[in-house]
Amino acid sequence: EGSRLHFLRQNQKDLRIELYRGLLDALECRAHNENIRTGKLIILPSSFQGSPRHMQQNYQDAMAMVRKFEDICKHGIFGTVLAYIYVIEFQKRGLPHAHILLTLDSESKIRTKDDIDKFVSAELPDPCTDLRLFQIVTKCMVHGPCGTININSPCMRDGQCCKSFPKQFKDDTEENVNGYPIYRRRATEPVQVGKYSIKTDGLSPIILGCLKNLMRILMLKFVPQLRVSNTYINMY
């Protein structure tokens, strides 16, 4: 971070600060009239994470989503929500994200593997039928790459992925395995995206119906044990 700040300080002329020229002229004129010396103004652009402009830009993006999308509670994409709890986790590397725990009514509860498949997919969408969703999935929901093709990935621990990727292929969803479902991941032909070949075993679960609207990384888990869930979510 110190190196980035030093770079910005030394390269102010290369940044797009012409919009501040009028303000600087006014400050210099006022300082001259009052016979005081002005300091050196350093502009932190929105590309510097954590700067006021960066936070304001992310805030505007977040508020735009909140105003436009009310899928979970009002539109009921998962069913009728009886209660919810959420905790915001702040991370300096990007926009803060939320851990949300939903409680559905008895008619909306996810009980069978067919219910799970209706809301969550761990397979690549068909680019011929839904190109936009395919582009979002390959941009936001692909893990890694890690393993032998990228041993320097941050998830690698002692030669293994700490997130258990690549996942095993499954022809059908298995429900309630150690408290969590194992999603269907059928073996399909790999898809070339950039310089890497992507298969379903490297995908994070996709929330059908939400991902296309929000275009952000979304994770969904079905949790039968409320005590464990509350303990985890309140860690933040």
Q: Do 5 and 108 share a domain, yes or no? A: no
pLDDT, tens digit, 9 for 90 and up, residues 1-54: 788 888 877 777 776 655 666 777 788 888 888 888 877 777 787 778 788 888
Q: Is the pTM of this model over 0.75?
A: no
Q: Are residues 29 and 58 in the same domain?
A: no
Q: What is the pLDDT of residue 161?
A: 93
Q: What would the two tokens of residue 79 be?
A: 């069913």
Instruction: Tell me, yes or no, whether 14 and 100 share the same domain.
Output: no
Which tens digit of pLDDT belongs to each residue from 95-129? 677 788 888 898 988 888 898 898 889 999 988 99
Q: Are residues 173 and 76 in the same domain?
A: yes
Query: 197: closest CA among 151, 142, 153, 154?
Result: 142
pLDDT digits (tens, 9 = 90+) for 130-173: 898 898 888 888 998 888 888 889 899 988 999 889 899 999 99
65 and 30, same domain (yes or no): no
Which element (helix H / strand E) includes 103? strand 97-104
Is residue 155 one of the residues assigned to a domain? Answer: no
pLDDT, position 43 = 77
Does residue 158 belong to any structural domain of this protein? no
Residue 187 domain-assigned (yes or no): yes
Residue 47 lies in a domain: no
Task: Judge whether 93 lies within some domain.
Answer: yes
Range of the domain at 94: 52-142+168-235
Domains in the chain, number: 2
Residue 97 confidence (pLDDT): 77
pLDDT at 93: 63
Report the C-alpha gap between 24 and 19 in whole angstroms. 10
